[in-house]
Structure formats: structure tokens, C-alpha cells
Amino acid sequence: MIGILFVCHGNICRSPMAESIFTALIAARGLKERFFVASAAAHTDALGEPPHRGTREKLAREGIPLIPHRARLMTASDGEKYDYLIGMDDQNVRDMRRIVGERNAGKVSKLLDFSPRPRAIADPWYTGNFDETFDDIVEGCNALLERLAAAEE
């Protein structure tokens, strides 16, 4: 099984959105048994909180089931457990590499690094634009899944 951990600052907006979207994509393709997917925070700001209302509402409008979730902190052991540690922006990536240490730092990347247009995914906590965040995450999740499928061929 391939382990994927999506990470953002507080684990209430972008990373649970990515976890839910990626899970829906693999389920639709009959690949759910080949992956284990989760999400976590790089900081302690919102530990124990459910996903942000904007994330819940956007996923509902798009017909994507929200994975039951409470924000949790990424740990060093996640570096051992997961094959891909995926952040949303450069600060996430720096934080993640610090958390998992040098041994697993090579597993860390930004989600849109897998797309033809690598860039950061803006935090809707600040922008209020959950539509743009959703579109960027869908782009990244599709690109990641295509990359993983191509690697197995």
C-alpha cells in the first residue's frame, strides 16, 4: 500500500480537503485498497478541531464526502509511516522537513509540484477563497494520482 499524508498549517482547511478529494478520486477509480490516506497539521493552532466550515461547505457543494476528521499534529513517526508527505506551500514544506528530520525529508513535496504548473496552494483561512483552493487541490490530486499510476506501469 502507498501511504500519503497531506499537511497544511492547521489541518482544518487545505489538508482535510486534499484528503477527502484524493480519497474520492481513488474510490472512483477502484484503487482505494492500494492507498492509505490521511492529513495532519504542521502547527498546533487548531488541534482537535473539525474541518473549517468553508471546507465542509465546498466539498458538500461538489458532492465529495468529507472524511471524518479532527485536526492532529504531524509527528516524526509520520515520516516513517507514509511514502509521500505532501504540503500545500513552502512554509508547510519547511515545517514538515523539520518535523520528520533529514532521514525522511526526501519524502516531502508540495502538492502542486506534481502538476505542470508547480506553485503554492493559497490558504483559504486567510483568502476566504475556498473555490480557488478546491480547484488547485483537485489539480494537484489528479496530477499526483497520474504520477503514481505511471510509476506502477
Name the residues annotated as catalytic: 8, 14, 123
> Which residues, including other chains, have CB under 8 Å from residue 32's CB and lie 6 or more apart?
23, 26
Alpha helices in the chain (DSSP H): 14-28, 53-62, 78-81, 90-100, 124-127, 130-152
Integer Cα distance of 18 and 78 in angstroms = 17
Closest CA to 22 of 35, 8, 10, 41: 35
For residue 84, give the 3-state DSSP assignment. Answer: strand
Q: How many CB atoms lie within 10 A of CB 50?
A: 15
